[in-house]
Structure 1
Amino acid sequence: MRIEARIFGVIGLFLLVVAPTYWLMSHEIIGTVVLLLGLAFAGMLTVYLVIQARKMDLRAEDRKDAEIIEGVGELGFFPPKSLWPFWCALVVTIIALGPVFGWWLCLLGAAVGIWAVSGWCYEYYKGDYQH
């Protein structure tokens, strides 16, 4: 968490320098307000991450003497093959073409989309890769 706090701290310092410079050069209110809101956001994140870093034990990323193998976690499960992403991409295409060719395509895409997303979610409940 300490590295993340440093990153947002550097972003906050950058915005602290840029906001008054922007105001002095442009005298534009909205851009200055946006930069100041970005500064506030970075400051809030920095304070939160510093507080959380004090509560946690040091992670491998935060220690200088850590080995690379200490930072390795579970990689997760990756499916060997699946056609469901293709069907979901086709559904997104159909829905995107709906406003162009007719709103009925959006309804058709939504109906096929329910089937495609359900198939993708439940693909490991049956067949060769059943859990």
Structure 2
Amino acid sequence: MKVSARVFWGLAAYFFIIGNIYAGWGLLYKGYIDWSGGTPLGLCAVLCALMAFFLNRSHRSQSAELPEDRKDATIDEGDPELGTFSPWSWWPFCLAAASFLTFLGFTVGLWLILIGGALALVCLVGWVYEYYRGYFAR
């Protein structure tokens, strides 16, 4: 995390410098500041500084170094258990389709939002409780 924080601090400094150069260039040659370019570069600098600050604080609160920061670490040390995944499950696809219908309803009409929302609720419940019924019940 220490290396990642340093990378983000470097990116924040880069975007800050480039944003000032962009604003100065526009002021020098056009006579006014072009806000459509300087503002996003400044916001990129703020975002990178925020990420760097978060990574610094997270690194300080940990009791030990991460495996990514140590030179003697093995691959197995940085490979945690992420959870249980169901490769046979169709519920994520159904939930994505229901979400698509719901968001499509914003352009088509309210009736499609209601249908997509109800379908999304059914798919979400089905995905949460898929291990409690059928062949894979526990």
TM-score by length of 2: 0.76
Q: 2:80 aligns with which of 69, 73, 76?
A: 73
Calculate percent identity across the aligned residue pairs.
34
* Deviation readout 1:25-83 (Å, 9 max, x if unpaired): 22223532442333233223323322332342111100122222221211421214122
Aligned position for 1:48 = 54
1:15-34 matches, within 5 Å, as 15-26=15-26, 27-29=33-35, 31-34=37-40
Structure 2 distance, partners of 1:104, 1:45, is 41
- What displacement does 1:102 show? 4.0
Kindly tell me: are residues 119 and 55 of structure 1, through their superposed partners in 2, closer, same or farther at Cα, counting changes over 3 Å? closer
Q: How far apart are 1:101 and its partner, in Å? A: 5.0
Between the aligned partners of 1:93 and 1:48, the Cα distance in structure 2 is 34
2:120 to 109, 113, 128: 113
The one-letter code matched in structure 1 to 2:18 is: V
Which letter does structure 1 place at the counterpart of 2:10?
A: V
* Structure 1: runs of 5+ lacking an equivalent: none
Q: How far is the alpha carbon of 1:123 from its aligned partner?
A: 0.8
- Return 71-80 or 15-24, whichever deviates more: 71-80
Structure-2 separation of matches of 1:20 and 1:82: 51
Alpha-carbon shift at residue 130 of structure 1 (Å):
2.2
Aligned residues: 131
> Which amino acid in the other structure matches residue 38 of structure 1?
C
Equivalent in 101, 123, 131 of residue 130 of structure 2: 123
